[in-house]
Structure 1
Amino acid sequence: MSQAAKTFLDKKHGIWVNGCWVNSSSGDFIDVIDPSTGDVISAISNASAEDLDSCVASARAAFENSAWRDMKPAVRASIINKFAELIEQNAEELAYLETLDGGKPISLSKSVDIPATAGAFRYYAGWADKIHGTTHNISMPGEYHTYTLLEPVGVVGLVIPWNFPLVMAAMKLGPALAAGCTCILKPAEDTSITALRLGELAKIAGFPDGVLNVITGYGQSIGAGIASHPGIDKVAFTGSTQTGKIIASAATGNLKKVTLELGGKAPNIILPDANLEKAIAGSAMGIFFNSGQVCTAASRLYVHDDVYDQVVEGIAEFSRNIKVGPGLDPEALLGPLISAKQQARVLNYIEKGREEGGEIVAGGNRIGDKGFFVSPTVIGNTTNDMTVVREEIFGPVLVAQRFSEIDEVVTMANDSDYGLSAVIWTNMLGEAHKLARRIRAGNISINAGSSADWDLPIGGFKQSGWGRENGLEGLMNYLDTKAVVTSLD
């Protein structure tokens, strides 16, 4: 293990407020658990409402003194780029912290999460000097000089989930910081360690004190407090649809702006002409990557009758050959689920699928008696009315169905409360593009599995959320538009 990571884990962590460590007023701590072993490896503060008030006061003061929001955009960009550089320089430590805290295989932390995190900050650093309004030729009687300004929305609360702690933090911090906002970052109580380390790196990068504050604690207290706090101008949340509804309701107190990236139950459609070798491998990783703990996971498989048996058995065989192991195992492709609670939840869904008539084609069981592992699971011969098809499981569980006609599979795919993403496999690109227009989802992948890029907006239809993140759309979440009209008469 990285010695730097061990040193950081050996501490009992306070919260990061106004550029320094502060002890929580509660004095209480939450154990940090390694999901691969179930062992306690560190402790984070269980912050109080008073601590949240301190974070808000810090962020508000930093916003009002305008050192950050009025900083020359090129300078702001250089600080954000320095932040990305520090993440890269500390990649080994951050990767080990991410793996030990969340269970993700170390190979993926190193090759995916750390580069993606640095990439997000570099991407949005590039936007910092390209934020501008427009001029207008209005039709009112008289002569006017009319233009718009784009200004930072203010103090923002960023509530992130446990499946991609660093990446999700960057997804929100990048555009918020580029826009000139000041931030309160609330990581999930299960995975707070790397967010706290970001606080220290932000100080080194040169962010003014109070621009980035990091508070830890439970969602029902600190997360809910961020949503309802009158001193916060906007909240951005990624997590479950149920929690998103609670946040949206709580935010009405001061009508703060809200961005929600919520649950998904993505349809994965395989037409009979598809490259099956590619579709089988892509579909398997589309659900099993990160042990299925991905909001865009391609969890509902719809396969044409002509190739159903071949595809389902191919994915099942793929799942049997995936190396599942502790996060620090360099050979592991799948790690544990995040917690004993999540493990029990996923196993209960699998049992529910069996009870409702699904066929367990592969997996379906806990692995070992230490850590929170569940075998990659394929449930065949499901129907759209089954619980495992309707509800988001958030684990390595694929549910498969047959179809025979295009209209039939469109109806099946759209028969869901969610609409975050979808996948289509076919060599008939005309048919693929027609299907993409008919499926109600915010992100469609064709012959590629679920994919993401910082320049590509992500977000959902229906109960998969409000708004879009990434790209220019993600930046606009953190900006307000002001119109200025000057009479020339």
Structure 2
Amino acid sequence: MSSSLLRPLDGSHRQMFIGGAWVDALSGEVFETRNPATGELLATVPAGSAADVDRAVKAARKALEGPWSRFKPAARQALLLKVAELFEQRWEEIALSDTLDMGMPITRSRANRHRALGTLRFYAGMATALHGETISDSLPVGEHFAFTRKEPVGVVGAIIPWNGPTASTIWKIGPALATGCAVVLKPSEEAPLTPLLLAEIMAEAGVPEGVVNVVTGTGQAAGAPLAEHPDVDKVVFTGSTATGQSILRASAGNLKRVSLELGGKSPVILCADADLERAVPVAAMAVFGNSGQICIAGSRLFVAREIHDEFVGRLAKFAEGLRVGRGIDPETEIGPLISRRQMERVLGYLDKGRAEGARLEAGGGRLSEGGLAAGNFIQPTVFAGVADEMTIAREEIFGPVISAMPFDDLEEVVARANATPYGLAAGIFTRDLSTAHRLAARIKAGSVWVNTYHAIDPALPFGGYKMSGFGREGGVDHLYEYLNTKSVVIRLD
């Protein structure tokens, strides 16, 4: 099988992957994907629709009921290990794809190697460790043997965002391969190239035809039909809360199982005893990493009043020292935003922050000098004097913007940190173990990091509280999201 991805990213055409074949949309329509750092055309991609989703779902169902159903756990484990091996061999190509397609600095995309490969190998390890239970017989009549079986949920519709194409693809497809499900993946139209590349590598590794399918297109034209499709058994989605709500409504048709990892407005709490040398770069990159385009961005920074001014001053100096530029430059620390539309959206939040009375300590505008003129670059921005009711303190910005606010005691900061509809992540900086435990127990968030941030391990479950969604990715919990439990009772006498 030849791949459509071996050509350079020079504006040539790519195809989507359905049933083990590279195909165009049935309509023949295409869309463009461009480098957010330069505006240059990278490729044209099929604009898939409901008809393309339908043929992908049929291919997945055929695979699920065909040879794929006869793969033993050890065979699925071996397949995942082979996928991980090929990913490792081609990691530079994968990293470059993420950098060009969505702007991630090349140093960051290269550094994601450990997490991505570790996640695949974790799933491989779990493939042979998933099992049911034997149940003690307590039925009133006769003698029985009772046990449970874990079985694949079926065809999974996976819809991913643009801000981490490799990680999102692995988080959706990895557990499907481990559990014996089949997948139809709909990547974001803003960054579709890496998921197509990963599908190529998986096919090279020996993933059977139809087990992994990638349909490119917009959320409305391809994502919505996938969420609504009557032969999809489960939908997994990462993205905005509003879209997650739409997917949940769409799942009602055949009562699909749904996992949602949605938006966030995560608090980071700096206690008075925090190690400032450690906290400054970590708290800064909790937001500025990936140009703020990350659901767990710790954008609400609560700082103990006695260290507030010193910490904000250090933070602003750190922000001003970050190198903003094209992701392909190995010296770049902050890349572009994904699109002109997203850049304008973030600039609108900067205007609102100033208009509502926040004090600008660093950044605050677009960078468009010299080689940055054609890209979507925004300065790493620090606001102080922010009140909880301000727009920048309440809404998810998805850009490199920190809102710093003082607090006076722990009771106060817990209440303020939890005063949000979201609950995805939180950070705490303190030298006191008792304080760390007390705060971690009371913050309503799916992940709480102490004296660190963005510490995501393959063995740890990740997901949200409240309107940040439900279901978990990572850890054993993740695999069970892709499994049904069947009870079997046999009368023996």
1:312-331 equivalences under 5 Å are 312-331=312-331
Q: What displacement does 1:200 show?
A: 1.4
Equivalent position of 1:63 in the other structure: 64
Matching residue of 2:125: 126
SS of equivalent residue, structure 2 residue 404: strand
- Could you say which residue in structure 2 is the equivalent of 1:393? 397
Q: Which amino acid aligns with 1:187?
A: P
Tell me the secondary structure at the aligned position of residue 441 of structure 1. coil
CA–CA distance in structure 1, aligned partners of residues 10 and 91 of structure 2: 16
For 1:461 and 1:477, how far apart are their aligned partners in 2? 16
Cα contact 2:144–2:490 (8 A) shared by 1: yes
Instruction: Look up the match of 2:37.
Output: 36
Deviation at 1:8, TM superposition (A): 5.6
- Matching of residues 130-279 of structure 1 within 5 Å: 130-141=129-140, 142-279=142-279
Q: Which amino acid aligns with 1:449?
A: Y
How far residue 26 of structure 1 moved from its aligned partner, in angstroms, is 1.3
Corresponding position: 1:461 with 2:431: no
Q: Deviations over 1:128-166 (max 9, x none)?
A: 111110000031112100000000000001111101001
Partners of 1:160 and 1:69 in 2: how far apart?
Answer: 26
Matched, 1:115 2:119: no
* C-alpha distance in 2 between matches for 1:70 and 1:25: 31
**1:11 to partner: Cα distance:** 3.5
Offset at residue 95 of structure 1 (A):
1.4
* Inter-CA distance 91–10: structure 2 relative to 1 (3 Å threshold): farther
Secondary structure of the 1:232 match is coil
Residue 355 of structure 1 is matched in structure 2 by 355
Change over 3 Å in CA distance of 1:9–1:166 after alignment to 2? farther
Equivalents in 1 of 2:11, 2:296: separation in Å? Answer: 34
Letter in 2 for 1:264: G
Of the three residues 376, 379, 387, the one matched with 2:380 is 376
Q: CA deviation at 1:487?
A: 0.4
Asked if the contact 2:159–2:223 (Cα under 8 Å) also holds between the matched residues in 1, the reply is yes
In 2, distance between residues paired with 1:386 and 1:36? Answer: 31
Whether the aligned pair in 2 keeps the contact of 1:19 and 1:199 (CA below 8 Å) is: no
Partner residue in 1 for 2:406: 402
Contact 2:169/2:195, CA 8 A, preserved across alignment: yes
CA contact (8 A) 1:5 1:94 kept: no
CA contact (8 A) 1:161 1:187 kept: yes
In structure 2, distance between residues paired with 1:327 and 1:478: 35
Alpha-carbon offset, residue 421 of structure 1: 0.5
Distance in 2, matches of 1:454 and 1:44, equals 32
Once the two structures are superposed, residues 214-253 of structure 1 have per-residue CA deviations (whole angstroms, 9 ceiling, x without a partner) of 1000011211111100010000000010110011111111
CA distance in 2, matches of 1:189, 1:82: 28
- Structure 1 residue 70: deviation in Å? 2.7
Conserved in 1, the CA contact under 8 Å of 2:380 and 2:400? yes
Distance in structure 1 (CA, Å) of the matches to 2:402 and 2:330: 25
* Count of residues in Structure 1 that have an aligned counterpart in Structure 2: 484
- Asked if 1 retains the 8 angstrom alpha-carbon contact of 2:12 and 2:42, the reply is no
State the Cα RMSD in Å: 1.1
Q: Find the aligned partners of 2:32 and 2:428 in 1 and give their Cα distance.
A: 42
2: distance between equivalents of 1:6 and 1:282? 39
Q: Distance in 1 between matches of 2:206 and 2:10?
A: 24
Give me the TM-score of the superposition, normalised by structure 2: 0.97
| In 2: Cα distance, 1:171 partner to 1:52 partner | 21
2:444 and 2:24 mapped to 1: Cα distance?
47
Q: Give the whole-Å Cα distance in 1 for the aligned partners of 2:182 and 2:216.
A: 17
Q: Which residue of 2 aligns with 1:335?
A: 335
Name the amino acid aligned to 1:397.
Answer: V
Counterpart in the other structure of 2:53: 52
**CA contact under 8 A between 1:422 and 1:441: conserved in structure 2?**
yes
Residue deviations 1:338-373 (CA, integer Å, cap 9, x gap): 000100001100110111110111001000132000
Alignment of 1:421-460 (within 5 A): 421-460=425-464
* Counterpart residue identity of residue 155, structure 1: V
Aligned equivalents of 2:166, 2:421: Cα separation in 1: 28
1:84 and 2:84 equivalent? yes
Alignment correspondent of 2:346: 346
Any stretches of 5+ residues in structure 1 without a counterpart?
A: none
SS of 1:248's partner is helix
Q: Which amino acid aligns with 1:472?
A: V
Q: Distance in 2 between matches of 1:470 and 1:209?
A: 26
Percentage of pairs with the same residue? 47
Deviation at 1:461, TM superposition (A): 0.7
Match of 1:416?
Answer: 420
**Is 1:17 matched with 2:21?**
no
Residue identity opposite 1:480 in structure 2: N
Paired amino acid for 1:295: C
1:475 corresponding residue in structure 2: 479
After superposing the two structures, state which structure 1 stretch, 83-92 or 237-246, moved more: 83-92
Please tell me whether residue 484 in structure 1 is matched to residue 485 in structure 2.
no
How many angstroms apart in 2 are the aligned matches of 1:116 and 1:312?
Answer: 31
Aligned to 2:364: 364
2:177 and 2:257 map into 1 onto residues whose CA distance is 16
TM-fit CA distance, 1:197: 1.2
Would the aligned equivalents of 2:301 and 2:405 in 1 still touch at CA under 8 Å? yes
The amino acid across from 1:182 in the alignment is A
Residues in 2 aligned to 1:260 and 1:83: alpha-carbon distance in whole angstroms: 26
Say if 2:286 is the partner of 1:286.
Answer: yes
What letter corresponds to residue 82 of structure 2 in structure 1?
A: K
CA distance in 1, matches of 2:417, 2:69: 44
